[in-house]
Structure 1
Amino acid sequence: MMKRSLWFATASALLFANVAAAQQYPMLDAVANRIVQKYQQSSCEQLWQERAEKKGMPKPQGEQMAIQAMHNDPQMRAAFIDRVAAPIANKMFECGMIP
């Protein structure tokens, strides 16, 4: 019974933390959702082609502003990375983009 209570408390705390992060940075959550969706819906060929085309090209101003905001706010950066890291890494692994 104690294990079940501890598991429920831990799961509740994690769920609350995710909801709190989404409420704290609603714009970041929208961007993260868009990025995750892009990686999940893109084929490996599309990702390879996009990667080749972006080499050496400057980032759009909106993207630069978002990156600067994450440099200035470590909590925002952590929330963003927590949201996008696993889906992106999994897709990149499937496509042979990372070992």
Structure 2
Amino acid sequence: MARRLGWLAIVLVALTATAAIAQYPVLDMVAGKVVQKYQGSSCEQLWQERAHKNAQPKSEREQQAVQLLHDDPQMRAAFIDKVAAPIANKLFECGMIP
């Protein structure tokens, strides 16, 4: 009986993880592009972008995306889970974070 419950728990966790991944297909695409941008950029490009970031206003589409992430905590968590580690690693490699 305990063995069956263990397998059931594993199956439920796998199904939940699969559902969470498929829940936001557009978010997955956007997160992938954000990660590609950071991984494909040189450190110098990232430093220059950081220096000019405040001078460039966000596009309307970018503002809508940010507002959506503010309004939906689950979507925000899913997005951050996808982009945080790759971005943090790149920024660390570039000396932009300690």
TM bucket normalised to smaller: 0.7 to 0.9
Identity %: 65
Aligned to 1:91: 90
The reply to whether residue 36 of structure 1 matches residue 31 of structure 2 is no
Q: What is the number of residues matched between the two proteins?
A: 92
Offset of residue 55 of structure 1: 1.9
SS in 1 for 2:55: coil
**Higher Cα Rg, which structure:** 2
Report deviation, 1:16. 4.9
Equivalent-residue separation in structure 2 for 1:26 and 1:32 (angstroms): 10
Question: Could you tell me which residue of structure 1 aligns to residue 13 of structure 2?
Answer: 13
Query: What is the TM-score of this pair, normalised by structure 1?
Result: 0.80
Q: Which runs of 5+ in 1 are unaligned?
A: none
- CA–CA separation in structure 1 for the residues paired with 2:49 and 2:15: 34
Q: Which has the higher contact order (CA 8 A, sep 6+)?
A: 2
CA distance in 2, matches of 1:69, 1:48: 27
Runs of 4 or more off by more than 6 Å in structure 1?
none
Deviation at 1:14, TM superposition (A): 6.0
Q: Output the amino acid matched with 1:83.
A: K
Tell me the equivalent position of 2:66.
Answer: 67
Tell which deviates more after alignment, 49-58 or 80-89: 49-58
Two-structure CA RMSD over aligned residues (Å): 2.3
CA distance, structure 1, for counterparts of residue 60 and residue 15 of structure 2: 33
The AA in structure 2 aligned to 1:13 is: V
Could you say which residue in structure 2 is the equivalent of 1:23? Answer: 22
* Superposed displacement of residue 22, structure 1: 3.1
- Superposition deviation, residue 65 in structure 1: 0.3
Extract unaligned runs of 5+ from structure 2: none
